[in-house]
Structure 1
Amino acid sequence: MHGVLDGFGVIGAVIGVGFLLAHTGVLDAASQQLLARLVFFIATPCLLFTLLLQADLHRVFSPGLLVAFGSVVVAAGVYVALARLIWRRTAAETVIGALCSAYVNAGNLGLPIAVYVIGSGAAIAPILLMQLLVLTPVAFALLDTLTSGRRPVWWRVLAQPARNPITVGCFLGVALALTGWKPPTVVLDPVTMIGEMAVPAALLAYGVSLRLGPRPLTGGSAVELGVVLLLKVVVQPVAAWVLAAGVFGMSGKDLLAAVVVASLPTAQNIFVYATRYERGELLARDSIFVTTIASVPVLLGIAAVLA
């Protein structure tokens, strides 16, 4: 349980620094945009490249991957149906909302929680790689197409991932991991150094937005935000438990890992993506805020029951 609190404590501290810097005037709205662009175009591609370069890709084909994928489909699918049929959101806003409902904070929060609660950081690998190799490229292909203002053409849609820096970083990391070759230190170390600023820069940008933007939980649809919260911290973990225990017969640490991973809050980088495409920024920001708070008792309860 200490791992849950430690992980949230670190994230909250860095967000608080961003809030304080904005409050004292050191950073302004332009700084937030600059940080978001830096994270999106440079730091995150470098971080994902180095993570995937060193990842054990064999874990992608474990039952944990199918559980993670199934829980994401359930949560995101419910949101998409509501967004399009009831709330009449645009297609691009629906993509952001679906990510808010199902894209878990597997990196900067999932890793420490997996180490302290489950006993191994490897437990986070299936959903981390699934999000990087499947969800992220698909979401960016859709967002690039929907926000470009051009009529979708099949060859242009297929080529979109090659023009997105984050998906390029993912695929390059996987390609080199499959070959087993690693770049020389003189090349890899600068890339690693740049990638290490992705998480703190994203958290600082988020903290700035909390201070300079509309107050959290204002300016958006309370009903929609409530549904996202329910999908993220209740529906997705329950779906993971049903799939893991009922379909794949998991138990012990494997079951604990599957449910804990699905219970993680919305990832901070969804706010960066929303800012980059100027779609659903308020929903992304508030979703991160409420799911991060709500997931603390949820994760503590899961750890107490299943551990």
Structure 2
Amino acid sequence: MTGVLEGFATIAVIVAVGWVLADRRILDESAQVNLSRLAFYVASPALLLTVMQRTPLSQVLSTNLVTSLISFVVVVGAYLAIARFRWAGGTLGSRLIGSLSAAYVNAGNLGIPIALYVLGDVAWVAPTLLMQLLIITPVAMALFDSDARGERPTLLRSARRMFSNPITLGAIAGLLIAVFDIHLPRVVAAPIELLGAMAVPSMLVAFGISLRRGPRPATGRGAAHVWTIVVLKTLLMPAVALGVGLALGLRREALFAVVVTAALPTAQNIFTYAVRYRREVGLARDVIFISTFASVPVILAVAALFHWLAGV
């Protein structure tokens, strides 16, 4: 339980720093954009390279990965079905932000500490992390790039965009380093790690700036859209993960890990993508903010339930 609160408290403090800096007019909207660009083009690729090269592939290629992928697809399908009738007419980029907000979990800067303190092992969150970095993110980046250029997505264009995006390149480079057991010289690895360390703080400070300089979360005509996605993220996704995990034979710790991971809030990097591609920035910001708070009681309830079942 302590790990859940510690993970959320760390994020809250850094977001608060961004809020205060914006409130004191030390940083403004231009700083928010520049921090997001820094995270997108430099820090996040470096972080993904560092994370992926240290991820033990033997532990992530498991039923947990399949469960995470199916849960993602089901929740995205539910969102798109609702959005088609309720919020028709959106662009591809808008639908992508909505879909990712509903199903892309904060498996990195929040999932890792929660996996360590709640699940007892960081390896439990690795399948979801791998699935998002190597499957979901490359596809999403290719579609974002096509949308930004006004192109109709095709298999060839998507593949070309996929392998020219810095986020995707960072993840793939890290995977290749891990697969071929390459040991980078310290003079190369140290700068990459240092750059990667900027990713999470940059995203969180930029997020804090947006909370202060933008409208209050979930207000106005878009409130229903925000709350719909929050419900899908914090309630439907862990429920789907529980059902899929049981169907695939997961039990005890493995099932607990899948459900807790699915209950994590929307990842902050969705806000970075929204800013970078200028699509639904307010929606991404509001969903991240509300789902972060809403996921706390959900994760605590899941942990209490599994703890009680283990003692029965």
Structure-2-length-normalised TM-score: 0.96
- Looking at structure 1, the residues matched to 108 and 221 of structure 2 have their Cα atoms a distance apart, in angstroms, of 27
2:103, 2:233 within 8 Å by CA — same for their partners in 1? yes
1:264, 1:295 within 8 Å by CA — same for their partners in 2? yes
- The match for 2:53 is 53
Structure-to-structure mapping, 1:44-123, within 5 angstroms = 44-88=44-88, 89-123=90-124
1:39, 1:198 within 8 Å by CA — same for their partners in 2? yes
1:270 aligned onto 2:270: yes
- The match for 1:212 is 213
* 1:165 Cα offset (Å): 0.4
- The match for 1:185 is 186
Structure-to-structure mapping, 1:205-284, within 5 angstroms = 205-245=206-246, 247-284=247-284
Between Structure 1 and Structure 2, how many residues are aligned?
306
| 1:227-285 deviation digits (Å, cap 9, x = unpaired) | 1011101110000001112x122222111101000000000110000000000111100
- Looking at structure 2, the residues matched to 152 and 227 of structure 1 have their Cα atoms a distance apart, in angstroms, of 27
Residues 261, 154 of structure 1: alpha-carbon distance in 2 compared, 3 angstrom cutoff: closer
Structure 2 unmatched ranges of 5 or more:
308-312
| 1:105-125 deviation digits (Å, cap 9, x = unpaired) | 001110111111111111000
- Looking at structure 1, the residues matched to 273 and 244 of structure 2 have their Cα atoms a distance apart, in angstroms, of 29
The root-mean-square deviation of aligned C-alpha atoms, in Å, is 1.1
- The match for 1:302 is 302
- Looking at structure 1, the residues matched to 43 and 115 of structure 2 have their Cα atoms a distance apart, in angstroms, of 24
- Looking at structure 2, the residues matched to 142 and 234 of structure 1 have their Cα atoms a distance apart, in angstroms, of 27
- Looking at structure 1, the residues matched to 21 and 221 of structure 2 have their Cα atoms a distance apart, in angstroms, of 25
- Looking at structure 2, the residues matched to 152 and 23 of structure 1 have their Cα atoms a distance apart, in angstroms, of 41
- The match for 1:25 is 25
- Looking at structure 2, the residues matched to 303 and 152 of structure 1 have their Cα atoms a distance apart, in angstroms, of 42
- The match for 1:169 is 170
* 1:74 Cα offset (Å): 1.1
2:41, 2:167 within 8 Å by CA — same for their partners in 1? yes
Identity of aligned residues (%): 46
- The match for 1:150 is 151
| 1:105-155 deviation digits (Å, cap 9, x = unpaired) | 001110111111111111000000000000100101111111112344543
1:236, 1:262 within 8 Å by CA — same for their partners in 2? yes
Residues 5, 153 of structure 1: alpha-carbon distance in 2 compared, 3 angstrom cutoff: closer
1:53, 1:182 within 8 Å by CA — same for their partners in 2? no
- The match for 2:310 is none
Residues 152, 238 of structure 1: alpha-carbon distance in 2 compared, 3 angstrom cutoff: closer
Residues 152, 302 of structure 1: alpha-carbon distance in 2 compared, 3 angstrom cutoff: closer
- Looking at structure 2, the residues matched to 130 and 140 of structure 1 have their Cα atoms a distance apart, in angstroms, of 14
| 1:71-104 deviation digits (Å, cap 9, x = unpaired) | 1111111111222343112221001100000000
Structure 2 SS opposite 1:163: coil
Structure-to-structure mapping, 1:194-213, within 5 angstroms = 194-213=195-214
Residues 230, 153 of structure 1: alpha-carbon distance in 2 compared, 3 angstrom cutoff: closer
2:45, 2:168 within 8 Å by CA — same for their partners in 1? yes
| 1:281-306 deviation digits (Å, cap 9, x = unpaired) | 11100000110010010011111111
- The match for 1:6 is 6
Q: Tell me which moved more, 31-40 or 153-162.
A: 153-162
- Looking at structure 2, the residues matched to 154 and 113 of structure 1 have their Cα atoms a distance apart, in angstroms, of 37
